[in-house]
Amino acid sequence: MHPGDKTTRLAVAAALAALGTASVTAAPAAAADEEPARLLVVTNTQEYRHESIPLLVALVERGGREGGGWVVERAETDEELRCLTTAAALARFDGVAFLNSSGDVPLADRAAFLAWVDAGGALVGAHGGGANTLQGWPEFVGVLGGEFDYHREQARVRVRVDDASHPATAELETGFELYDEIYLYKSFDRSRVHVLLSLGSHPNTGEPGFFPYAWTREQGKGRVFYTGAGHRDDVVRSDWYERHLLAGIRWALRR
């Protein structure tokens, strides 16, 4: 029986339910010739709900089917999210992707979630997903690497590729232009993340500076990928965004 077999995962989940939060582990990563990774897509919103959420979900589902190597299970309602984020349920998943979620979403077991990432789980955030989610929980902000501070009107910006060798940026043009709602971040320490994309000036005032836009982190045995893009429908539909987001997910899942 392969380590990633569904029966094995269910057995692990049952054991974790009996042992409690302290024993939570991430689901074993499947090899390329084994079953697809399992990705929990969280679109629960307690505050603003982005219109681009259905497009993001469709993109991630299609990316998994067409060679990405994952299958998606969704958590949109409070009940679904609580059910799928217990210690036992998390053991079934290789990754969790927050796609424009917002606010204090009701994770069932916060300690189990942190332990799951540390044990090898993949954490992915897109735009409001992650950065504008669970902001009252410092431990989550620390794992993600930063949090939403504010945004002003949508703007056309020039995006710098800080690491052209990473899978999530390898196919992007250096200094490409983008029109979107641009987040500014706080609780951000550049020394704790690996920056993939950034701006060299404030998106609205033009003031020179460093403004992060996408990054990765290693958290224990887990991987974290966050991108600030994804507010507008036309951005989510663009070829560059598809390559960027799907490659970031594949990297986080170690596919």
Mean pLDDT of 179-192: 95
For 76-106, b where at least 16 C-beta lie within 10 A, e where not — what string? eeeebbbebbbbbbbbbbbbbbbbbbbbebe
The pLDDT of residue 33: 59
The pLDDT of residue 36: 94
Is 0.85 topped by the overall pTM? yes
Query: For residue 51, how many other CB atoms are within 10 A of its CB?
Result: 11
Domains of the chain and any CATH numbers: 6-149+216-253 (3.40.50)
Mind listing the pLDDT tens digit for each residue in 55-94? 999 999 999 999 879 999 999 999 999 999 999 999 999 9
Give the up-direction half-sphere exposure of residue 129: CA atoms within 13 A in the CB hemisphere. Answer: 30
pLDDT bin (cut points 50, 70, 90) of residue 175 is: confident
Q: Which residues pair with 126 in a beta bridge?
A: 99, 227
Q: Residue 14 corresponds to which amino acid?
A: A
DSSP for 170-192, written as a single string: TTSPTTEEEEEPPPEEES--GGG
| Beta strands 194-201; 155-161: pairing state | antiparallel
Q: How far apart are CA 148 and CA 207, in angstroms?
A: 19
Q: Residue 66 corresponds to which amino acid?
A: E
What size, in residues, is the chain?
255
Q: Are 97 and 40 in contact (CB under 8 A)?
A: yes
The pLDDT of residue 174: 86
Q: Which two tokens stand for residue 45?
A: 């919103």
* Residues 155/157/161/167 CA torsion (nearest 10 deg): 40
Under DSSP, the state recorded for 220 is: T
Question: Mean pLDDT over all residues of the chain?
Answer: 89
* Residues 159/249/66/235 CA torsion (nearest 10 deg): -30
The pLDDT of residue 193: 98
pLDDT bin (cut points 50, 70, 90) of residue 4 is: very low
Only one residue has tokens 């170690």, namely 254
Give the up-direction half-sphere exposure of residue 27: CA atoms within 13 A in the CB hemisphere. Answer: 32
The pLDDT of residue 221 is above 80: yes
Q: Could you give the residue ranges of the DSSP H alpha helices within 74-183?
A: 78-84, 87-90, 110-118, 128-131, 138-144
